[in-house]
A and B are shown apart, each in its own frame.
Chain A
Amino acid sequence: MKLFKNINIDKLKSGLSKTREKVVNKISETISGKAKLDEATLEELEEILISSDIGFDTTERIIERTRISLKSEGDRSTLNVFTIIQNELVKSLNDHIELKDEFEEIEKYKPYVILIVGVNGAGKTTTVGKLAHNYRKAGLKVLIGSADTFRAAANEQLEIWAKRAGVEIIQSVSGSDPSSVAFDTIQTAKNENADVVIIDTAGRLHTKNNLMEELKKIKRVMSKVVDYAPNETFLVLDGNTGQNMVFQANEFSKFTELTGLIVTKLDGTAKGGAIFQVCSEQKIPIKYIGVGEGIEDLQTFEPKEFVKALFAHNGTLDE
């Protein structure tokens, strides 16, 4: 069972509506009235996929698979083309990875520790606020820690989110050691019998070795309080990011074992398609998506729903 679904399909759809209209209209234009997929059509499909940041290689791969599937299939109707493309896309989203039951996990570990990492401005702090809100709503005692001791007013920002979410926060002193904040937060959580700890970290570009090394240290220090920590390390990715998203995921993976991805800012017109390539290189599930700046604007990621929302009203997914 999922802890919180929070899936409001309408919100997701309206968030993605601009995208959907564009993509779907284009594909409809492309395919309608054509019984067969000719080269020109495939080329247009390429445009649609690449324009979604899916990337050259992944696009070629998906088109190739679609082409192959269509060859052996008598049915080349628009509907079927959509179904096949969507199935291919869903398959590329690591949807086969078995997710553990979050409730059970949280019961097992006390406190259950979540570390949030990502590049500058990706949406980490906002996501911490949203996550805290959701766990608290589910009746859990949540504690958040501000291990961003670098960015100006990072602490104040998280404090406001703590208030909004109605959870306790362990403050940091600017310039202090981030791992000591993480340590204090988990220690306090243990003493106060909290269920979930969420640690926000400073934005760091994946190219900065010293900052990436710092992540290792945070992890090491955390495990001094509870040896299993962290239970989860979520990488927050900005949905506007292009092919660099793949490098981000690969680099962060090298320094810290990621257990989930969160894609933010999908309420604009960006499609976040680079995530397909990320998933093909890293076997990490996408956990949540951010669809706005409000505290409710975090949704459990559902590959089928995600792809379906992109292609709404066109074709059906194989169940």
Chain B
Amino acid sequence: MLDELSLKLEKVLKKVTGQGRLTEDNISDTLREIRRVLLDADVNYKVAKKFIDDVKTKALGKEVLVSVSPGQLITKIIYDELTELMGGANRELSLNPTGPTIILLVGLQGCGKTTFSAKLAKYLTEKNRKVLLTAADVYRPAAIDQLKTLGKQTNIPVFSIDGERDVVKIADKSVSYAKENGLNTIIIDTAGRLHVDEELMNEVAEIKKKVNPTETLFVVDSMTGQDAVNSAKAFHDRVDFDGIVLTKLDGDSRGGCALSIKAVVDEPIKFISHGEKLDSIEPFFPDRLASRILGKGDIVSLVEKAQAQFDDTEAEDLEKKMLQNKFDFEDFLKQIKMIKKMGSIKSLLGMMPGMNSALKNADVDDKQLVRVESIIQSMTKEERQNPKILNGNRRKRIARGSGNTIQDINRLLKQFKEMQKMMKSMTGKGGKNMKKQLKNLRFN
């Protein structure tokens, strides 16, 4: 029954135990754990290290909000930083409003370029662009056939030249073909190539030079590991791409390579591709990927909820009242409302790591919360502020008004009295007991 209060009491506790600020000490375990989480998500070793160091430097000394632990707060800060890093400006695809828009797709073998080019073509067609697909992969067997088939499926014209091996020429000719045929958007699908393949890297740089694309997109398999930094950097050095496309996100990879890539090339992620169907293409949402990489969405959403809903000044106010021993049913009602805004107590507690087993024993019942609320609401203002006046008649009235039994009312009054007593002992001078009691109340 007292769980609601623990939110509040924790703040006091933090002051007592010095947990009110982020220090090297109280976040080091969490940071170690987060580093491991990032590495398991395939974030590059160096990138993970630097990222965490940077965030730590920024965060040290920050005040800890009521109801979260330093570990949770630093997790939230990391999440926010991650989201920001993944975000960045200019996530829209640049389209040339007057002349033709040319989009060049580049990347390693098997990363999903051809499928993505068809998806993008369909996506842009639906946005009323007149699209031409250019088949410039002359190396992989039947790559051109693949694009042609996809073109047929989507009703989008595909440009190719039979037997032509010169891809610069193919790309160039496709641009004039588009012009002649009233098509304003050209998507060039190139062969997958290794970033260490000098010859092929030259080739793609030549295409870029020749057609001067509006957008060059680097397509990358979201399952890529540590080496993503090397390929991304090499491609960026050679073709200076403008954006990133993450593919195969319908798998269960955590997509940490996106963070690695963002760390070495400062270009926005523009699209994600997440399925075999040609409409499984989506603009990119940084926050979703941040949660995916951290794999700790629960903690993050808890911290966010607490931050958003728990008005700090209101909390201060309550705290003052508690300290002055003036906590009454009005304040209690406020607290209940706040907790309700944050979701059910159980779900709130359930979001805390390691809480689930402890929860089984805890007496938390949302229905009870509703009942308490209805009881308090049936009290007059006077009764709320001064519960002492609640005699038998008044109790009967409240019971009837709130649809409860008189026993329910009596139980609540008893619990409330205990609560007040406890607060008194905590805020009083004989503070030894207080820490102990607070410990029992903490839930994180």
Binding site for B on A (CB under 8 A): 18, 47, 50-53, 55-56, 119-123, 150-154, 156-157, 159-161, 174, 205-208, 238, 240-245, 247, 265, 267-271, 273-274, 293
Q: Knowing A53-B225, A121-B111, A242-B226, say if A150 contacts B276 (CB, 8 Å).
A: yes
- Distance in angstroms from A302 CB to nearest chain B CB is 22
Given A157-B140, A268-B194: 18 more A-B contacts, CB < 8 Å: A18-B196, A121-B109, A121-B110, A121-B111, A121-B248, A153-B146, A154-B146, A157-B141, A207-B252, A238-B221, A238-B223, A240-B108, A240-B223, A241-B224, A244-B251, A244-B252, A269-B196, A293-B109
22 CB contacts below 8 A, A to B, read A50-B45, A50-B226, A51-B44, A51-B45, A120-B276, A121-B109, A150-B276, A152-B147, A152-B149, A153-B149, A157-B142, A205-B250, A240-B221, A242-B225, A243-B41, A243-B42, A245-B223, A267-B194, A268-B196, A268-B231, A270-B227, A273-B225
A-B CB proximity, top 4 nearest: A242-B225, A121-B110, A242-B42, A152-B149
Contacts known (A51-B45, A268-B108, A268-B195); A241 close to B140, Cβ less than 8 A: no
Does B36 lie within 8 Å of A274, measured CB to CB? Answer: no
Tell yes or no: B148 within 8 A of A by CB. Answer: yes
Given A151-B146, A238-B221, A242-B257, A293 contacting B196 (CB threshold 8 A): no
- Which of B112, B147, B225 has the most chain A CB atoms closer than 10 A to its own CB? B225
Give CA–CA (A268, B232) in the complex, Å: 13
Q: Is the beta-carbon distance between B141 and A244 smaller than 8 angstroms?
A: no
Does B40 touch A at the CB level, under 8 Å?
yes
Cα of A168 to Cα of B229 in the assembled complex, Å: 41
Q: A50-B45, A51-B45, A156-B142 are in contact. Are A269 and B230 (CB under 8 A)?
A: yes
The answer to whether A53 and B227 touch (CB under 8 A), given A18-B196, A242-B253, A269-B196, is: yes
- Does B145 count as interface, using CB distance less than 8 angstroms? yes
Task: State the CA gap A238–B107 with chains docked (Å).
Answer: 15
CB distance from A60 to the nearest CB of B (A): 10
Interface residues in chain B, defined as those with a beta carbon under 8 Å from any beta carbon in chain A = 36, 39-42, 44-46, 108-112, 139-143, 145-150, 153, 194-196, 221, 223-228, 230-231, 248, 250-254, 256-257, 276
Which A residues touch B46, using CB under 8 A? Answer: 47, 51
User: Quick one: which of A152, A161, A206, A274 contacts B146, CB cutoff 8 A?
Assistant: A152
Q: Is the CB of A269 within 8 A of B231?
A: yes
Known: A160-B142, A242-B257. A265 touches B109 (CB 8 A): yes
User: Assuming A152-B149, A207-B250, is B40 touching A243 (CB within 8 A)?
Assistant: yes
By a CB distance below 8 angstroms, the chain A residues around B225 are 53, 240-243, 245, 270, 273-274
The CA-CA distance from A260 to B144 in the complex, in Å, is 32
Asked whether, in the complex, the Cβ of A50 is within 8 Å of the Cβ of B39, the reply is yes
Complex: A217 Cα to B145 Cα, angstroms: 29
Would B112 and A120 count as touching, CB distance under 8 A? yes
Q: Separation in Å of the A106 CB from the closest CB of chain B?
A: 27
Residues of A within 8 Å of B41, CB to CB, are 243
Bound CA–CA A174/B153 (angstroms): 13
B226 and A52 form a contact (CB under 8 A): yes
Nearest-CB distance from A263 to chain B (Å)? 12
* Other-chain residue from A52, A156, A241, A268 in contact with B223 (beta carbon distance below 8 A): A241
Q: Which residues of A contact B221 (CB under 8 A)?
A: 121, 238, 240-241
Q: Quick one: given A269-B196, A270-B227, are A157 and B146 in contact (CB under 8 Å)? A: yes
A90 to B94, CA, bound (A): 50
Q: How far is the CA of A157 from the CA of B110 in the complex (A)?
A: 14
Query: B106 to nearest A CB, angstroms?
Result: 15
Compute how far the CA of A276 lies from the CA of B276 in the bound complex, rounded to whole angstroms: 30
In the assembled complex, how far is the CB of residue B397 from the closest CB belonging to chain A, in whole angstroms?
59
Q: Closest CB-CB distance, A264 to chain B, in whole Å?
A: 8
How long is the Cα–Cα vector from A213 to B77 in the complex, in angstroms? Answer: 42
Instruction: Give Cα A271–Cα B231 distance, bound, in whole angstroms.
Output: 13
Interface centre among A51, A152, A208, A270 (most CB of B within 10 A): A152
Give the chain A neighbours of B276 by CB distance below 8 A: 120, 150
Contact at B248–A120, with CB atoms within 8 Å?
A: yes
CB closest residue in chain A, given B49: A47
Bound Cα distance from A268 to B226, whole angstroms: 13
In the bound complex, CA of A139 to CA of B29 (Å) = 61
A contact residues around B148 at 8 Å (CB): 153
Which one of B112, B196, B230, B253 contacts A244 once the chains associate, using CB atoms below 8 Å?
B253
Contact A156 B145 (CB under 8 A): yes
**Residue of B whose beta carbon sits closest to that of A270:** B227
Contacts of A205 in B (CB 8 A): 248, 250-251
Contact yes or no, B223 A244, CB < 8 A: yes
- Say yes or no: A160 contacts B141, CB within 8 Å: yes
Determine how close the nearest CB of chain A comes to the CB of B78; give it in whole angstroms: 17
- Distance in Å: Cβ of B395 to nearest Cβ of chain A: 58
- Bound: A53/B256 CA distance, A: 12
Q: For A119, list chain B residues within 8 Å (CB).
A: 223, 248, 251
